[in-house]
Structure 1
């Protein structure tokens, strides 16, 4: 639920950690840091040599398009096995590759990874298999996100109706924290968006399975936006200024 608590009565110490992260990675990482820095700072890490056959896969992979955009995946070795640090979640060990070259997640075998090599045999990307879809995630560090071009996005700003719920107020497209964002009146948070991908979709930072695209008329005027969610697309017409 985003709440973590640790207590050491003999040390008169309590640590509370609250987060809105959907995963557990930050809490697990903090727990390790607390133990290393406060509880047993003299503990020595046991060095484990990385198997040579796993070394070519290790490193960071970051998608720049699709629902996994700007979410870094780290391939590493844990307990002598290949593992993946899933964004906003935990480190999950991978099973040995099957006959199709798929490394399945030990905790969720329906999700799998394969690696893409170039002609020289270097690993340049990984394929992420989930829910019947395949997402290619290039190898490399997190790219610098381009700054928002206010002159370009100005035309998107404004109010949009919700025809599926006529009694509800309109949603607003606005600038928030330097990002294009959507404000739903009853929502507790403003929904910031990533820059558009190759298909012109602005992916929601809080929930990358949801994205937004804008529609224009022949004169270039924005007339609506479409909210794309798994199994459902909803068109929201622009509120015409009086």
Structure 2
């Protein structure tokens, strides 16, 4: 039963942090490390992301459905879907090629703490830049911009970097408004996280037991509920307040994690 409670707690962390620029995987790995939580093949941290995916789908269902219906006759709908697929492609290729290396080498709490701190200072620097927002609609970015955002997203394969943080910052540096950058980060999350979920499940389903399935299910439910709350609130918050609170949070968590590793191992 204690594992189920831990899974619910970790799922809550996943849902609350997945779409914030603070690295959900980094938080999961750190908290799991200090709790002594170990998942088979380190699949839990990836598979519970399905809850966050479904949270986005539920919030944006009407908009996604209207885009899907418009595909046969609307060039802009096709442009946007093509852009999302182009942005997803780099992560799909690199993630498949480096899957083993990422889990065996990069899923390390020392790396997580370091990247959390470095990423925090990057966000502070971005918030202080006088960036000009020339693109305010996430569905109308140039195709080349979608591809560049996809390349930047690959940096988040290093735990602690933050997928949402990388894509939002990358888009803003290319002229997107904070709101448009955050919204596109949500859209890009769907194929990226669904792809990671599917690939990881195919690689590890033979090793998962009924107990693993129960633990993953508990984390999934918790992640869905928490992510639903965050997706609804984040766009307005980021548009008005920027990233400084998240930057300080990253630095605080990274520093606390390093202190914990030095003291407790």
Q: Same fold (TM over 0.5)?
A: no
Higher relative contact order (CA 8 A, sep 6+): 2
**Which structure has the highest strand share of the two?**
1
Specify the structure having the higher radius of gyration (Cα): 1
Q: TM-score, normalised by structure 1?
A: 0.24
**Which structure has the highest helix share of the two?**
2
